[in-house]
Amino acid sequence: MEKFEIHILGCGSALPTTRHFSSSQVLNIREKLFMIDCGEGAQIQLRKTRLKFSRLNHIFISHLHGDHCFGLMGLISTFGLLGRTADLHVHSPAGLEELFAPQLDYFCKNLPYKVVFHAFGTAESAIIYEDKSLVVTTIPLRHRIPCCGFLFAEKRVPDHILRDMVEFYHVPTFELNRIKNGAGYTTPEGEFIPHERLTRPSAPPRKYAYCSDTIYHPAIVEQIKGVDLLFHESTFSKRDLPRAKETYHTTAEQAAQIALAAEAKQLLIGHFSARYEDENLLLQEATALFPHTQLAREALCVEV
């Protein structure tokens, strides 16, 4: 199968600690890199992954809180020092371009590449990126300011031709694309050969959902139904539920409830509050409801 990996650069929340960097992830999908959020230190963490900076062309910012975007200015500057020439596309809720324009004008006046900002709405789900193999859709969340998660969904790949069967029935080359996409073949003698006899199924398309930051929000369940991997913020323990509600965040137990309702295959929890010195407490609360749960940590790579 083609590569589909999530690299955790940071999984802490707003208050910096010596254990965690602020929120940031990089997805490696078929050797194209996509960054989700860019907290402080993201470029240092990105170097540690040894992923190629030149393959990162799209950055998705969930909301305009500092622990999700303070690292962006440094990353843009570093790309300039490295001689980048390809455009860098930054997708975010409205307002980020206005915030960054004076900083870019002062610190990065002579960038050798263009930073292109794409603002999206947060009230309704929308497609904000698409290429021949991938679609990225926003997931409206409920936080103290406009905020969206992101659903990364592979497009279905056509079925694979069985060469020996194609040769056996002398199928012309010009018929192959049609057969890959579900058609059968009728021989010159009038015999119909079904699609299933000429092909083998392609791997099912994979989906990754990123949900941070948000209060417990069951409305997202239908959109993320059946995802292969769900990252959901789990800032607090259930013992701190009042604080979670006050700050519009989620507990680990609530994240597990979302994963269970969505029939996700795996759950990855992160965005940990600095008050917990041992996040295994959060893991225990989540796995009690949803056993296929893993703690995010810096340098973790998860294959989808």
Q: What are phi and psi of 252, to 5 degrees?
A: -60, -40
Q: In sequence order, what are the beta bridge partners of 294?
A: 268
Cis peptide before 213 (omega within 30 of 0): yes
Would you say 273 and 236 are in contact if contact means Cβ atoms under 8 Å apart?
A: yes
- The span from the CA of 304 to the CA of 268, in Å, is 12
The catalytic site residues sit at 67
Q: Which residue, among 224, 298, 238, 228, has the nearest Cα to 267 in the 3D structure?
A: 228
Instruction: Name the pairing type of β-strands 293-295 and 134-140.
Output: unpaired
CA 93 → CA 26, 77, 201, distances in Å?
A: 19, 22, 39
Q: Give the gyration radius of the chain's Cα atoms.
A: 22
Would you say 171 and 150 are in contact if contact means Cβ atoms under 8 Å apart?
A: no
- The span from the CA of 31 to the CA of 6, in Å, is 12
